[in-house]
Amino acid sequence: MPTTFHPGPLRGEIAVPGDKSISHRALIIATKSSTPVAISNLNPGRDVAATRAALEALGAHIDVDGAVVNVSSARLRDPSAPLDCENSGSTARMLMGVCSGANLRATFIGDDSLSGRPMEPAAAQLRAFGATIETRDGRLPLTLRGTASPQTRDFILLSPSAQIKSALLFAGLFGETAITISGDRGSRDHTERLLADFGAAIAFDGRTVRYEPGPLGCDALRMPGDFSAAAFFLVAATIAPGSALVIRDVGVNPARTGLLDVLLSMGARIEQRNERAWGSEPVADLYVESSELRGTAVGPQTAQRAIDEILVLAVAAARASGATRVSGVRALRDKESDRLAGIERILSRVDVKVEALPNGIVIHGGPGGSGSGTVATAGDHRTAMAVAALATAAGPLSIDDGASIAVSFPDFLATLQKAQR
């Protein structure tokens, strides 16, 4: 699906899909609820579909009624076939925790991209819980045998990974075991917030999480709009002259909005309007106008809060005056693709100089002119959408294949076309 994106301002109002990170977790936790749970605005992408299919293979009861996904509690069982996590690291790592706590036996597989990503960090901590896990050189496929007799209950998070933290919490949830996790450094707290929405006994402060088992119950959940999806439109409307755009109902959890903080420091005109809460998650409408940007420095803590948005942050930096230095992002080498290499491929099309650092990147931006050519996405949905954002100011630009966008945002092209009318 070669796709070409064109320049032009973004105006009017749009909405983005439900938050992908929260959607995975909502499906998982709902299977332990004492009451049926109706989930609205669930992310429609392939990653969340992989989690749903894997849970159903484990015995969960999930059905769709129009725009609502209904989940009923069920006793989980060993799957009859390998759990295919497709391209979703969230599915693999978090369901490893579920199976560990639920004392299940399962084999996990994924596509070529997922099979190249590290699973050993999650596996090592779940082995301490009591699971037996065998990987292929630290990657998928892996076989797992859960435990009915948890061992370690107090964990030190060895890296600020929300997926590993969630895997440990799910091991405790499905093993009905108290869990304490220390050593966090402000990673995403969606699992903790959702557990609180379900009435769990949980305390968390960005450094330590304490969970005590007990009954869960929640009748309905509504997923906020995905900030990571909104990010492409925030940057596009900032760099495309003449833009004035409202993005409705976006989740603005502070653990996720590092990009927003960086853009504001660069001179972007972005306002949070109609601030409110959906359950434990803060939500707002984001209003953005085009503006001139200046380069900045992004430290490791802020980069961690924007880790899924670094590709599109690089697009903003390419149109900013001066240099932008981003530190603490070595982990981008092991995402759906090597995203630091992806930044270099994208920005080479607009003649922007990029310096690769051992643990970061420097982008020498400027107002610049138009670009041309085709960018290889390496099957990465965020690379594809970052090219689209850059093209709004510097297009036309093309990508070799737009099919990957459906991983998280199947209606991205239609939403972009609506905003550029």
Q: Which residues are catalytic?
A: 308
Closest to 416 in 3D by CA, of 14, 4, 2, 1: 14
Cβ neighbors of 31 (< 8 A, separation 6 or more) are 55, 60, 71, 73, 74, 76
What is the rounded distance in angstroms from the CA atom of residue 33 to the CA atom of residue 105? Answer: 22
What is the distance between the alpha carbons of residues 343 and 301, in angstroms, rounded to a whole number?
Answer: 20
Alpha-carbon distance of 245 to 320, in angstroms, equals: 20
Say if residues 198 and 218 touch (Cβ distance below 8 Å).
yes
Backbone torsion region of residue 96, taken as left when φ is above 0, otherwise alpha when ψ lies between -120 and 50, otherwise beta: alpha
Give me the amino acid identity at 330.
Answer: R
Using CA atoms, how far apart are residues 31 and 84, in angstroms rounded to an integer? 19
Q: Running DSSP on this structure, what letter comes out for residue 198? A: T
Strand order in the sheet with 297-298: 297-298, 322-327, 360-365, 353-357
Contacts of 381 (CB under 8 A, 6+ apart): 336, 404, 405, 406, 407, 408, 409
Whole-angstrom distance, CA of residue 235 vs CA of residue 316 = 6
